[in-house]
Amino acid sequence: MSHGTGEWEISGRRVAALVERYWYLLRSSWPRLLDLVYWPAVQMLMWGFLQTYVSQTDGTLARAGGTFIGAVLLWDILFRGQLGFSVSFLEEMWSRNLANLMMSPLRPIEFVIALMIMSIVRLSIGLVPVTLLAIAFFGFNLWGLGLALAAFFVNLMLTSWAVGIFVSGVLLRNGLGAENLAWTIMFLMLPLACVYYPVSVLPPWLQTIAWMLPPTYVFEGMRALMIDHVFRADLMLWALGLNVVVFSAGTIGFLALLDSARRQGSLLQTGE
């Protein structure tokens, strides 16, 4: 790979400029803002009522009160974190602005940092109202998890960014033809990371794969906290270690795909 002078310099001004650009875009469109809240709210309400119904008929689930709502909210952090990253990137492709950015002094690392910031901004706009709804409807207080929530959040965001970075590389290399990947890639995690059920449910060979994914540790940790009232710091450390690997792999993949895009000439033509 050819990364020349100044490739890794970071200018706060350039990062802020790009964040400003996304913020202008977000606030200029109320449907965009509404979209951030709509689906997480629908999903949380659906799972919340399902949990209410099932827990009335099953003692085990009654003891595991709130695990479905907790799982759905943590899943949204993972999914919406990646989507927030990828959609901001896609905005550049939809508006045919990517070449302007790639030709500007903006470094890839600055681009990535701006997208990370925007993923947190978008996630906050979408998820904070939904967590308040969860308190209002089901008495489930995600914020009551305290420090454990911080550990869950950091690990889930790291995974979401790693996937978002890699998907951005694929989009740079393959254009909007790969757009669907941005919307669907994270769903691969849904069965494998055991969002709604314990890892022990999976067949042994699939358990091995599940334990290779950082979010698996977070969802197991969430269940341990809510059912057994134990915070499993060991699981969080495993998740963090794996996230370092996944994040590095995502970044290396992104840079390799960016180089490939330069070779293929796809930075100028990012259509289908």
Partner 1 sequence: MTEAPAPESPAVEADRLVKIYKGGTAVDGVSFRLPAGSVTGLLGGNGAGKTTTIAMIMGLVMPTSGTVRVLGAEMPRQRYRVLERMNFESPYVEMPLRLTVRQNLTVFGKLYGVDGLDARVRRLAEELDLVDLLDRPTGKLSAGQKTRVALAKALVNEPELLLLDEPTASLDPDTADWIRARLERYRAERGATILLASHNMGEVERLCDRVIIMKRGKIEDDGTPEALLARYGRSNLEEVFLDVARGRGEAADQAQARDAAREAAQ
Interface residues with partner 1 (CB under 8 A) are 2, 4-7, 9, 11, 13-14, 16-18, 20-21, 24-25, 28-29, 91, 95-107, 259, 262-265, 267-268
Query: Minimum distance from CB of 109 to partner 1 (Å)?
Result: 11
Look-up: residue for tokens 């310099």?
9
Considering beta carbons, is residue 94 or 187 the nearer one to partner 1? 94
Considering beta carbons, is residue 179 or 220 the nearer one to partner 1? 179
Considering beta carbons, is residue 11 or 141 the nearer one to partner 1? 11
DSSP state of 90: H
Is residue 41 within 8 Å of residue 138, measured between CB atoms? no
Look-up: residue for tokens 């629908």?
42
Considering beta carbons, is residue 107 or 122 the nearer one to partner 1? 107
Query: Minimum distance from CB of 104 to partner 1 (Å)?
Result: 4
How is the chain split among helix, strand and coil, in percent rounded to 5?
80, 0, 20
Query: Minimum distance from CB of 81 to partner 1 (Å)?
Result: 23
Closest listed residue to residue 158, CA positions, set 260, 82, 66, 271: 82
Look-up: residue for tokens 């305290």?
146
Overall residue count recorded for the chain in this entry: 272
The CA–CA distances, whole Å, from 251 to 48, 113, 124, 166, 246 equal 36, 12, 24, 7, 9
Considering beta carbons, is residue 14 or 122 the nearer one to partner 1? 14
Query: Minimum distance from CB of 138 to partner 1 (Å)?
Result: 37
Query: Minimum distance from CB of 25 to partner 1 (Å)?
Result: 6
Q: What is the rounded distance in angstroms from the CA atom of residue 255 to the CA atom of residue 112?
A: 11
